[in-house]
Structure formats: C-alpha cells, structure tokens
C-alpha cells in the first residue's frame, strides 16, 4: 500500500503525453496484480487513451489487451486511491457497475447542456461526480497539454478536492461543487466569454468553481462568529470564503500540479483564484451587482481588458453558485430541499445550545417554500436579470424562464414542509444492475 500510495498520489516525475499512460499502466499493473486488486484504468482520460499509440516494440495484441483494460472503471481506481488515503474502509468498497459507468460516460457528452442532471451523474459515478466532471472539462479544453499538466497529479489533486468537501453536509458538499463547475462550463460557452477568455482564464474558472466551497463546515459565518470558532479568529471578514481559498491553495501546492510553471504565473494564479472565491461571499452581493449594473449602463465592459475579464469571471462564478433556482424544476427543488436541510440543522444545534436561532434556520417559523420565494425574489432574480442583459443569449433567457417557473411553483406550494418528499426524490440510490 505504501508503494501504491506513493505511486498514485505522488508520481515520481512529470511525464507528459503518451509516456504517462505507458509508464503508469506498466507499473500499476504489476502492483495491482501482486496485491490481488482489480485492474484500474483511465477511461475518463479519453484524451490519453485516444491519443495512445502502440509504442515501438509492442505487439498489436498487447496493445489491444491494454485497450481492454482501459475500459475498466476509473471508479475502481478512485476507490482504491481513497482507501490508500485511509478515508474509506473496505466495507465501503464496491465496484461500479459497468452499466452505470457507461451511462455516466454517455451523460458527459451532454455536459454543456443546462438540464444536465448532476444528481443522476453523481449516482452513476458512485459519488465521484466532481472528479469525473472536472477531468472531462480539462480534457475538453485540452488544458493538460496546454499547461503541461501531469495527469496523475491532476487526478490526485481532484480526488483530494472532492474529499475536502464534507459528504455529511446536505448542501455544501462535493455535489454542489460539481454542479457549480458544470454551470460554470455552460457560462464559459457563452459567446461573450468564449470569444475572449484565455486558457489561463478557463483553467482558473474551472479550478475556482471546483474549489469555491472547499472544507465548508455546513454552518454559516454567523454561527462561526457566535461560537468563537478558530476560523473566525483567522480572518477579519469573508471567513468561510477565505478558508475555502486557503484550503484550495494548500491542496494546489501540495499536489504540485502547477509546480512546473514560473513562480510569477503561480502567484498570479493564486491571487486570481482568491479574488474569484472571495466574490462568492453572498453578503457582498449588492456591491458586485451595482458594479455590474453600472458597467452595463455605461456599456463599457471591454473583454480584452484582463481586469474586466476577471470581473466577468467573478460574476459568472457568483451566478453559477446560486443558479440552482434557475435549473429545471425537478433539479431545482432538490437543491432547495438540500439547502434548507442544512439551514435547519444549524438552527437545531443553535436551539439545543440555547443560542438565538439564525435567520432562515428555524424550522418552526420557516418552510422550504418561504425561503425559496424570498431567495429567488431578492437574491437570484436581480442577479440573473443583469446576467441576461450582459449575455443576451438563449441560455441566459432560458435560465430566467426556469427561475420564473420555480418561483411560481413555490408560490403555489403553500407552507407545508415537503422535506420528506425531497429525500426520496433527490437521494435515491440506484439499484444494483447486472
């Protein structure tokens, strides 16, 4: 296990292109067959597999065996990697059904569509949606080649990020990060962005989306302040967002993902990552919204300016972060229940400790519907109206359409608590297949 840990998490050297596959495959085959583990593959690393050519001296048969093996699930590798980190016991280890894996891969063909069902994708990937989705997007943009990234380091970094989200949080977990990353990808496709963003912008946008809530404790800043939590003493303001940023930096540095790049580029990247993540502090909503409106009124946004591009990326990440009420109703209601569950859990703890229950967190005076109606009207709608003004595309108007439908849905829903229904709809476990 030590050797595997070393190999899987800290590859010896940076190798790019085809060499990675051959090197990794050979070494890990030996290790895995020795320790009776199933073979694993890099199926989602399509970019590597597709571009893999038979090395000189290797027979076609050998190459086709290699291809066969590569069809086995990435999931197996991820699960194994997790157990080497000691975060999973073998009790949790079960192999991903190949049927589900095929379906997940199929879903990725439509990763840029707004009705992408991230809940289903997460179940099909056995809870690995953040890793699978982000890898896919890195491959789509060719970021691995463009930045000379080591695929193993990238993979190890993403696994650590995914594990850095608390799965116990009903809302602020890795599924939310995957959802935000998928939304960010949709926004990056918008012509105003896609025509002007640089590869650095895209790399940064995807990293920021994937890490923006890293190590979220499942309670809000108010709770941390009231309870003299150590995080509250570390940062003056935007306590959680600063913590997400610093956690992202520590994973980034530890993984060595960007360590081959010039130090100035890395520093610039880290600063920009901070400015994006800090922009997701919902208490700064009005500040960003008025700046955005002022730019739109003056029509002075110039996407060839690096400062303006950074500002638009901040706005895009803010939209992605709270876009759940703009998703189709079946997805949106799931998120509404998840976020309310987290609010109410905090309220229950506050009540148990005889503290004042924070706004929105009291299950006795709130309901999902009440919270949604005000969140949509006062927070989501003002932002997405301006975003549609900026983009003026089918997607931006489609999001407004869904948002209106959801607002109507919650207005008609009355005050009853629909939490139980939501549990069965959103957290459905897939039946074991063949």
User: Which positions from 366 through 405 interact with ligand CMP, judged by CB under 6 A?
Assistant: 371-372, 375
372, 406 in Cβ contact below 8 A?
yes
The number of angstroms, rounded, from the C-alpha of 270 to the middle of its chain's C-alpha atoms is 18
Q: Residue 215 Cβ, how far from Zn ion at the closest point, in Å? A: 12
Report 157-216 residues binding ligand CMP (CB under 6 A).
213
Q: Hey, what are 413's tokens?
A: 């829903």
321 is in an annotated binding site: yes
Residue of 396, 211, 424, 394 lying closest to 333 (CA atoms): 424
Distance of closest approach, residue 212 Cβ to ligand CMP, in angstroms: 8
C-beta of 213 vs 350, nearer to Zn ion: 213
Q: Is 199 annotated as a binding residue?
A: no
Residue 212 labeled ligand binder: yes
| Site string (271-290) toward ligand CMP, x via CB under 6 A | ---------x-x--------
String of contacts with ligand CMP for each residue 311-330, x by CB under 6 A: ----------xx-xx-----
Tell me the catalytic residues: 172
Closest separation in Å from C-beta 280 to ligand CMP? 6
Quote the distance between the C-alpha of residue 126 and its chain's center: 15
The CA distance from 326 to 313, in Å, is 19
Q: Is 355 annotated as a binding residue?
A: no
Map residue 140 onto helix, strand or coil: helix
Do the Cβ atoms of 47 and 75 come closer than 8 Å?
no
- Positions in the binding site for Zn ion (CB under 5 A): 213, 321
Contacts (Cβ under 8 Å, ≥6 apart) of 314:
275, 276, 279, 288
Is the separation of the CB atoms in 41 and 133 below 8 Å? Answer: no
Region 354-373 residues binding ligand CMP, contact defined as CB under 6 A: 371-372
Q: Which stretch binds ligand CMP (CB under 6 A): 9-17, 73-81, 102-110, 331-339?
A: 331-339
Cα angle 63-64-69, degrees, rounded to a multiple of 5: 100
164 binds, among Zn ion, ligand CMP, none (CB under 5 to 8 A by kind): none
Q: Choosing among ligand CMP, Zn ion, none, which partner's interface includes residue 162 (Cβ < 5 to 8 Å by kind)?
A: none
Residue numbers in the known binding site are: 172-176, 212-213, 321, 372
């Amino acid at each position: 296990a030590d050797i595997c840990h070393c190999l899987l998490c800290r590859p010896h050297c940076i190798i790019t292109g085809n060499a990675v596959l051959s090197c990794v495959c050979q070494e890990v085959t030996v290790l895995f067959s020795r320790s009776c583990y199933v073979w694993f593959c890099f199926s989602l690393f399509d970019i590597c597999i597709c571009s893999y050519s038979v090395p000189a001296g290797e027979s076609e048969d050998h190459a086709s065996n290699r291809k066969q093996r590569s069809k086995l699930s990435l999931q197996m590798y991820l699960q194994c990697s997790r157990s080497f980190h000691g975060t999973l016991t073998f009790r949790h280890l079960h192999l991903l059904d190949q049927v589900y894996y095929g379906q997940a891969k199929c879903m990725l063909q439509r990763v840029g569509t707004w009705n992408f069902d991230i809940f289903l994708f997460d179940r099909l990937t056995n809870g690995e949606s953040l890793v699978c989705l982000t890898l896919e997007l890195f491959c789509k943009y060719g970021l691995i080649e463009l930045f000379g990234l080591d695929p193993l380091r990238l993979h190890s970094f993403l696994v650590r990020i995914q594990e850095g989200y608390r799965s116990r949080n009903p809302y602020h977990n890795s599924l939310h990060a995957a959802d935000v990353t998928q939304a960010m990808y949709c926004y990056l496709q918008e012509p105003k962005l896609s025509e002007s963003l640089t590869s650095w912008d895209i790399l940064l946008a995807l990293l920021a989306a994937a890490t923006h809530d890293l190590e979220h404790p499942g309670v809000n800043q108010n709770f941390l302040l009231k309870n003299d939590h150590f995080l509250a003493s570390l940062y003056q303001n935007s306590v959680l967002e600063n913590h997400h940023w610093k956690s992202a930096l520590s994973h980034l540095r530890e993984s060595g993902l960007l360590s081959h790049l010039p130090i100035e580029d890395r520093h610039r990247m880290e600063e920009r990552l901070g400015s994006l993540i800090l922009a997701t502090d919902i208490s700064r909503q009005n500040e960003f919204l008025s700046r955005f409106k002022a730019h739109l009124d003056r029509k002075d946004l110039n996407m060839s300016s690096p400062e303006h591009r950074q500002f638009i990326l901040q706005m895009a990440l803010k939209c992605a972060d709270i876009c759940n009420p703009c998703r189709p109703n079946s997805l949106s209601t799931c998120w509404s229940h998840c976020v309310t569950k987290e609010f109410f859990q905090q309220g229950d703890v506050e009540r148990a400790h005889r503290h004042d229950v924070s706004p929105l967190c009291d299950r006795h005076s709130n309901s999902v519907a009440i919270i949604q109606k005000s969140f949509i009207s006062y927070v989501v709608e003002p932002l997405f109206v301006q975003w549609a003004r900026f983009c003026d595309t089918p997607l931006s108007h489609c999001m407004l359409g869904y948002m209106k439908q959801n607002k109507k849905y919650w207005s008609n829903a009355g005050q009853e608590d629909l939490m139980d229904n939501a549990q069965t709809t959103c957290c459905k476990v897939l039946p074991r297949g063949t």
